[in-house]
Amino acid sequence: MLTKFLITALFAALIESLPVEASTRYEKKSCQIIGDADIYGIGVRVGYYLTWFAGVISFGAGEKTSMPDLLNVVNVVFFAVIVTLFLALQSFSVIIMTQFTEIFQRSWGGFMTLTSVHTGLLPWLYWVRIDQGRKMDCPSVKMWIFAPFDFYNPHYIRFNRVVSIVVYLGAPFLLGGGLWLLITGKIPVIPAISKQGDPKTSSPQRSADDDSELEKEKKGV
């Protein structure tokens, strides 16, 4: 298990160092952005929004019997997105890191080790590859987060660079803790606390045998 995961983590780090292979791109002869309609196109968004809106109306009107049908619609949309995800994986997209995280999210050791890979690469991202996917001769594209926002704003970039260094300092601890959990298979356990708040006075958990003996004593056996 450990060998398999270490190979996966190394492969993940190599994947993140490759150029972006996203479907969202600029038109070659203009500044028009071509989005990935299979993931966030108008059809996908309408499917999400209408289903959610219909669910809110049904729940508010007390029509709970229609909820299973709405959930089936949501499941169909989710299934379509999952199919798109696997198609992206086959084309060797950077989205493969998402799949690694989903596979190992049940394991604290795996999750911590993968997180250390992400945090360890953040300084490289914000100091070296900050302009990846950007067409320099085109005006900066502003995103909408409650207001127009420029992701290439110099102040925002400097802030992310400082944060990336701070987070990077925690990467070795995440990596060490994750590898320790993977090697030992242990998860730190917080000792039980009694009502008085003293761990030493907390009573141990009763077993099934203890309960059986107590029942025999009550019956006079």
Half-sphere exposure of 89 (CA within 13 A, CB side): 12
Same domain, 103 and 70: no
Do 182 and 124 lie in one domain? The reply is yes
Same domain, 51 and 29: yes
Residues contacting residue 170 through CB under 8 Å, at least 6 positions apart:
119
Q: What is the pLDDT along the chain (221 residues), one digit of tens a residue?
A: 556 556 655 655 555 555 545 566 777 777 777 766 666 677 777 877 888 788 888 888 887 787 788 777 777 777 777 677 666 655 545 454 555 555 555 567 777 777 787 788 888 888 887 777 677 777 777 776 677 777 788 888 899 899 999 989 988 898 888 888 878 876 544 444 444 444 444 444 444 455 555 565 555 54
Domain count along the chain: 2
Assigned domain for 145 exists: yes
Q: Domain check: are 104 and 152 in the same one? A: yes
Q: Which residue range forms the structural domain that includes residue 66?
A: 22-93
Residue 126 falls inside a structural domain: yes
- E strands, 147-202, in order: 148-150
In a domain, 214, yes or no: no
Q: Which two tokens stand for residue 198?
A: 């003293």
Instruction: Tell me how far apart the 2 most distant CA atoms of the chain are, in Å.
Output: 92
The tokens of 68 are what? 């299973």
Q: Specify whether 108 is located in the same domain as 167.
A: yes
Q: What is the pLDDT of residue 163?
A: 92
Q: Establish if 199 belongs to a structural domain.
A: no
> Do 182 and 123 reside in the same domain of the chain?
yes
